[in-house]
A and B are shown apart, each in its own frame.
Chain A
Amino acid sequence: MKEKYIEDLKEIKDIMNRSSRFISLSGLSGIAAGVSALIGAYFAYQTVYFEQNYLGYRRAFLTTESLTQLLLIAIGTLILAIGTGVYFTTRQTRKQKQQIWDVQTKRLLINLLIPLATGGILCLMLLAKGYIGIVAPLTLVFYGLALINASKYTLNEIRSLGILEVILGLIAIQFIGYGLLFWSLGFGVLHIIYGIIMQLKYKS
């Protein structure tokens, strides 16, 4: 009889998780997002730090032309990251026989997008005013807050990833000149590490 109730408890927990959280987040989409970020960061680096005197103080040069180019790189990176993310996650959803566009997905996306859009708009406003240095750290901070906010509706790992992104962003504000480096660490390396961890943990 005990076995029946142990089984019952397991089932209750499983149904609670499946009905209230989005569990089909694929580790592969994290890895893909990280790789996209690193590619984007490489092109951004080429755009911002051209013709550098490597022995002197490093400065970011931004002309209207390179700013446009930078925005194009950012948009390209975003499309690549979201595209691969959606692809791998949809594949995972099908494998777990879940629906891709249901209450859980919507709840997750709304809670992710509120802090994220706020940060995005703020960054664009700062960029327009010429505060270039602060933008890369701030994207990390707001992305981290968005993850923490959304983590209630998906796998637990997302919360600690969010906290790490916020910490990294705050450190980056102290070292403005290394913004792109911290950005690559946060959006590139952390995504890849977390992607691998989640892929190994939830592979079955």
Chain B
Amino acid sequence: MKELLKDLDKAFENKIRLGIMSALVVNEFLDFSTLKNLLDVTDGNLASHLKSLEKKEYVTFKKEFLDRKPNTKYHATPKGKEAFKKHIQAIEQLLN
């Protein structure tokens, strides 16, 4: 049991961070407003969770300008995808 729990990633304990990663692993990239609508959270809330995922290097972003409006595209890093996969596998084993 302890072995299994060690693979569970603390970063994904939170529902919103888990949601962000779920969306980013199946999409090449998503912009801020799409993520916001998808997860139904406030700007500040989403930004702070994105920041903590950035700190762990699970997520990166690229700033672009769309019709002169800033548009931030978020990607999952290979490291983030790997961590997410491990986390899911740990959950699955836990449930077996």
Contact = CB atoms under 8 A, between A and B. Distances in A.
Interface of A: 2, 5-6, 8-9, 11-12, 15-16, 18-20, 99, 102-103
Chain A to chain B: the 4 pairs with minimum beta-carbon distance, closest first: A19-B23, A15-B22, A12-B22, A20-B26
Contact of A5 (B23, B27, B39, B94): B94
B18 A8 contact: yes
Interface in B78-96: 88, 91-92, 94-95
B37 interface: yes
A138 B88 CA distance: 45
Task: Please indicate which of the listed interface residues A2, A6, A15, A20 has the most CB atoms of chain B within 10 Å of its own CB.
Answer: A15
Interface of B: 15, 18-19, 22-23, 25-27, 30, 34, 37-39, 88, 91-92, 94-95
A9 B92 CA distance: 9
A116 to B, nearest CB: 24
A6 B95 contact: yes
Contact of A12 (B18, B38, B39, B95): B18
A98 to B, nearest CB: 8
Contacts of B15: 8, 11
A99 B37 contact: yes
Given A8-B91, A11-B22, 19 more contacts: A2-B94, A2-B95, A6-B95, A8-B15, A9-B88, A11-B15, A11-B19, A12-B88, A15-B23, A15-B38, A16-B22, A16-B23, A18-B38, A19-B22, A19-B26, A19-B30, A20-B26, A102-B34, A103-B27
Contact of A15 (B39, B91, B94): B39
Contacts of A5: 91, 94-95
A9 B38 contact: no
A42 B69 CA distance: 51
A16 B92 CA distance: 17
7 contacts: A2-B94, A8-B91, A9-B88, A11-B18, A12-B19, A16-B26, A20-B26
Given A2-B95, A11-B18, A12-B88, A20 B34 contact: no
A11 B38 CA distance: 12
A143 B91 CA distance: 41
